[in-house]
Amino acid sequence: MNTDTTQHNGAACRASRHTRVQHLITADESSLMDLEVLLATLPLCSTGRVFIEVPDASAIGTVSAPPRMVVTWLDRSARTGAPGSGRSCRQGEALSRAVTAWANEMLCDADDATRVHLLGGFLGTADIIDHLTDVLGVARDRVVVPDWYPVGVRAR
Q: Please say whether the structural domain 19-144 has been given the CATH code 3.40.50.80.
A: yes
Give the tens place of pLDDT for each residue, 93-131: 999 999 999 999 988 765 567 899 999 888 778 899 999
Reported residue count of the chain is: 156
Give, for 104, the enclosing helix (H) or strand (E).
helix 93-106
Burial (Cβ within 10 Å: 0-12, 13-18, ≥19) of residue 121: middle
From first CA to last CA, the distance across the chain in angstroms is 19
**Lowest-confidence region among 23-27, 61-65, 75-79:** 75-79
| Half-sphere exposure in the Cβ direction for 67 (13 Å, CA) | 3
**Cα dihedral angle (51, 56, 59, 62), rounded to 10 degrees?**
40
What does the domain layout of the chain look like in residue ranges?
19-144
pTM: predicted TM-score of the whole model, two decimal places: 0.82
Q: Residue 50, SS3?
A: strand
